[in-house]
Each structure stands twice: as structure tokens, then as C-alpha cells.
Chains A and B, each alone.
Chain A
């Protein structure tokens, strides 16, 4: 019988590394790195915001890759399906985090929580696109059926990304340039280091969580299978009971 825990020595190591890294990020992000001249302390949100965005893209990329590899007959295995699902969940989580921190940053910097900037809009659309994908995944079905359905849905959503990008970009050029580019492109060394540290920590967190989520999916399937077996056994026992009591 396989262990019911989702952790192994490797994931424990990964987890400790992530937590230590997160601690270091807090130290560098909140204490050691300087505040920005223009943005003041709100610049510190960047150390979470940018890594969250990059990790979200990475996660959706893995989802698309997993979906494509599931659909390709030669590499078809539920491994890719579980990976795609686990990665999409984290992608949505990180996109949500990215949007949230962006709004918190936008309020003191731009004066508004939300602006219909091209990048904001396409990120929001990406968020909703993959929320739909997750909703579809939650619909009960045979693992094979669900895997095929999800893989195709993920790819439909994924090919939409460049179209959305162009559409939103053009749409916004009518009204205003990208606000983000008006910020000072030069960046302090310590700030750059903190940002890079953030990237590493978020990548580690992603690897850690996606492994756990993957194993959880495996366990879920195992439980479902076990439940089905039990139900069949029960029905059999009932049938025997009926036969036994018959005159």
C-alpha cells in the first residue's frame, strides 16, 4: 500500500528551502532594500507582484504543455493530466495574487485600484479563462474523459492568449499609453537582488506546491477507485443476503 502522505524527503527539503527563502525575501524586501524615491514603500510590493506574475505564466505554460502531451498519443498518461490540473490551480492562485498586489500597489501609485491598462486587462482575462478551466475540471467524470476534455479546454484557452494580447493592446492604445513604462527603469542593486530572490522563492514555492497538489490528485483518484470497489462489494453482499434469506 502506497503511503497516504503527499510529502517525501525531497518535498520536505523543498518546503524548508521555500520557507527559508520566504524569510529571506521578507528580510530583503521589507528591511534591507531601500524605499523608492517616488513610490516610497509601496515599491516593496514589486518583490511579490512580479514573481507572482512570472510564476503564473510559468504555471499556465506547464498546463498547456501537459495538456498537449496528454493529447499526443505517444506520451499519453494521466501524469500529464494531473500535472496540467495542479499547475493550472497554482497559476490561478498566482495570477490572483498578482492582481491583488497590483491593485494594492496601484492605489497609492496611480490613485486607483484598477485601470483598464492593456496588461491589467489581459491578466484579468487570463485569470477568468483559467477559472473556467478549473470549473470544468471539477465536473465529475471518468479520469480519461475528464483528461481529454480538460486538455482540449486548456489548449483552447491557451491559443486565445496571443489573440487577447493583441486585441487588448490595440484597444488600449486608443486611450492611453502603458502606465507601467513611465516608472523609472533604473533599479537599485539591492532592489534588483530582492526581486531576483523573489523570483527564486516563488519558483520554489511553485515546485513545492505543484508536487503536493499532483500527489493529492493521485490520492483523490485512489479514493474514488476504492469507493467504487466498496460500493460494488456492498451491492454483492446485499445480493447474497437476499439469496440467503429466500425460502
Chain B
């Protein structure tokens, strides 16, 4: 299972490295979202620095949607899905591989966006440890849930419009949790709920959806 996962993840990442869709389209889009927020919320009034935690994670979610759609668009062409199914790879391995590739791309995007909020919004990072831990926990959850819904929607004609509707409500807890920890980590006020508890919640989310994906990916890949 793990060997298959590494194989699939390697394939996807190599594909992204060569096609450069993530670097040339998704990453600029992520930065663009940050710029748009600045247009929408007057930068002079200091709102941006105060709400940068929330804006950051909304930007991550939007970019994640693109990355997930992209991850399954590459499987849609030339009957790749059938190829994947007939490859003899463990479906759980395929799931973990796809999720891993998405997670790696998301982490890169998050790093970029973090640079973006520091440079563009003038946000200061006060606690790097929480930033790293939150990003990892949230990313695993996003990638796992995204991969499940990605394959669920991949075969449908309405996938572009259906995926956000299905995915975004499910990952709402991730948005809430990671934003809360970032508030602290970006020098905001302390919370009633300890950041560690939020990280725990994010981890529970990640574990639930990873387990779900490992169990359900086989039947989902089979359909249509």
C-alpha cells in the first residue's frame, strides 16, 4: 500500500513539475486572491493585518479547490482512470498517493501564501511552531477530504460546480480551527480554547478522513 502510494504521489508530482500548472496557474491565483482581499478591505485601515489569519486560510481553501480539481483532471484524459483501475495498484495506496501529492502542493502553496501575508499585509509571525503544526495537520485533512470528493466528482459532467459545494462545508471545521490557531501564531489575542486543542481537532479531522479515504476509495474508483 505504501509503495503504491509513493509511486502514485511520485507520478503526480512529476506531472506537476513538468506541466507546471501548479506553479504557473494555481500559485499566481493564490497570490491574486490575497491581492483581491486587499482591494476589498481597505489596506490603510489596518484591517488586513488583523484578519490575515482568516484571509490566509480562505485563500488556501480556494487554491486547494483548484489543486484538487487539477489532480483529477489529469486522470480524466485518455481513459487514465481505467488505466489506474487496471494497474493492480492497491486502491488505498492510490488514495494515499493522490492525497500525498495534493498535500505536498498545498504545503508549497501555504508557504507561498505565508510569505504573501507577511509581505503584503504586514503580518508578524510570533509563533512558528504553531504555524508549522497547523499547516501540516490542516493540510493532511484538506488533502484527504479533497481526494475523496475529488474522485467522487471526477466522473461527473458537473464536477466543476459540484466539488466546491460538496467540499467546502465539510472542511469548514478545518477553516475554523486553523484560523483560530493562526490568530495566536500571527500575534493576535490569546484564545479561550488552547491552540493545542484546535490542533488536536484538526488532527482528528485528518485521521477521520484519511481512514475514510483508505476504506472508500476502492468503490469510488470503480464507479462510472
Contacts and interface: CB of A to CB of B under 8 A. Distances in A.
Interface in A156-172: 156-157, 159-160, 163-164, 166-168, 170-171
A152 B162 contact: no
A149 interface: yes
Contact of A167 (B176, B209, B212): B176
A139 B223 CA distance: 14
B166 A132 contact: yes
B219 A170 contact: no
B223 A157 contact: no
A171 B183 CA distance: 12
B176 A171 contact: yes
Contacts of B223: 145, 148-149
A187 interface: no
Contacts of A174: 180, 191-193
B172 A164 contact: yes
B220 A163 contact: no
B197 interface: yes
A173 B198 CA distance: 13
Contact of A170 (B149, B169, B193): B193
Contacts of A157: 169-170
Nearest to B158: A139
Interface string B181-218: 00000000001110001100100110011001000100
B192 A129 contact: no
A239 interface: no
Contacts of B157: 139
A164 B173 CA distance: 5
B170 A135 contact: no
A132 B220 contact: no
B36 interface: no
Contact of B173 (A71, A163, A173): A163
B224 interface: yes
A131 interface: yes
Interface in B153-171: 156-158, 162, 165-166, 169-170
A14 to B, nearest CB: 33
Contacts of B170: 129, 156-157, 160
A136 B208 contact: no
Nearest to A131: B165
Interface residues of B, number: 33
A125 interface: yes
Contacts of A166: 173, 201
A172 to B, nearest CB: 10
A149 B220 contact: yes
B10 interface: no
A71 B191 CA distance: 42
Given A145-B223, A148-B223, A149-B220, A129 B169 contact: yes
A143 B172 CA distance: 30
A149 B197 contact: no
A128 interface: yes
Contact of A149 (B152, B191, B205, B208): B152
Contact of B166 (A136, A141, A148, A155): A136
A210 interface: no
A152 B169 contact: no
Interface in A40-60: none
A153 interface: yes
B152 A132 contact: no
Contact of B205 (A148, A155, A163): A163
Contacts of A167: 172-173, 176-177, 201
Nearest to A140: B157
A153 B152 contact: yes
B99 interface: no
A52 to B, nearest CB: 20
B96 interface: no
Nearest to B180: A171
Given A71-B219, A163-B201, A167-B172, 13 more contacts: A132-B162, A136-B152, A136-B166, A139-B157, A156-B209, A156-B212, A160-B169, A164-B173, A170-B176, A170-B197, A170-B198, A173-B193, A174-B180
Closest 6 CB pairs of A and B: A167-B173, A132-B166, A128-B169, A170-B193, A132-B165, A129-B169
7 contacts: A129-B170, A139-B156, A148-B219, A152-B148, A153-B152, A156-B212, A163-B173
